Amino acid sequence: MKLLKMVFIAGGGNFGARALKVAKEANVPSLVADISYSCHAREHVNGLGYDVVNEAMKAINEQSSRLVIMDAKEALWKLMEAGLMPFIIVPAVPNHFAADVVRSIMEKKGVNVKGVDRQEFLHVVKRLPKSVICSIDFDRSRVVTSYMPKDELCKVPCNEPIICPKTKKVRLTPMYEMLQRAFSGICDGLVLQSHFLGEDVGGFYGKDFARALKVAMSCKGTLAIGTACRCHGVLDLLSLLQTGTCEV
């Protein structure tokens, strides 16, 4: 799969527009995917279209920012079908984008995807310190975590130092490592590390997402997919029922 030297921004709302600003200030080609023609990011791109591969090539060849009118999950899948993967992926849509894309792709491959058994989910959750658990969604088998207390807000921008600039507490174990350890030895999976890009914008590497998808394709049971920076994270457990090994 060919890595594209560009930023793929999933969602063109306020957060997506901020991510677009960061990419433009760094002179990095960017492609925003949003289902709405009138999304906020539209005012800040150089052009738009409906073919994601065509718009990605325009962004790179013209060193510009483009908007594709398409569901972000579908847009990323179409790029992958064409053998292309963005260098950086910025989730700027509600829910857990990485897990939602994996679910969507696996379902396209004919795999039955659903949440895991409640007890299996709790087996993983109980490996996490109670102090970092923000919310638990049993229907989606999803846990959201953070070192920041619920009644506090992060200082932005923040480059994720070991000592939190707000609470002054030391965070020796990055959240991405903590989540990985939570399911280690229980099921297959991968936590995508979110990297600080600027302001309050972060994204994960496309090559890491490709690795996660490869794990999913060979999984015949429970799969864990997480996204986390040093301080915050989200982890989904998916039950995959497939008869053979899938290929991207």
Residue 95 region by backbone torsions, left for phi larger than 0, else alpha for psi between -120 and 50, else beta: left
φ, ψ (nearest 5 deg) of residue 213: -70, -35
How high is the pLDDT of residue 156?
Answer: 77
Q: What's the pTM?
A: 0.93
How high is the pLDDT of residue 199?
Answer: 76
Assign 49 to helix, strand or coil. strand
Q: Which domains, from first to last, does the chain contain?
A: 2-91 (3.40.50), 97-241 (no CATH)
Contact 12, 41 (CB under 8 A): yes
Mean pLDDT, the chain cut into blocks of 10 residues (248 residues total): 96 96 95 97 96 98 98 98 98 97 95 94 97 96 94 80 84 95 97 91 97 93 97 97 62
- Using alpha carbons only, give the angle 37, 43, 47 rounded to the nearest 5 degrees: 70
How high is the pLDDT of residue 246?
Answer: 59
Question: Token match 């930023």: residue?
Answer: 7
For residue 195, give the nearest of 1, 27, 4, 7 by alpha carbon. 7
CA atoms of 33 and 186, how far apart (whole Å): 35
How high is the pLDDT of residue 166?
Answer: 85
For residue 89, give the nearest of 202, 169, 178 by alpha carbon. 202
Contact 243, 209 (CB under 8 A): no
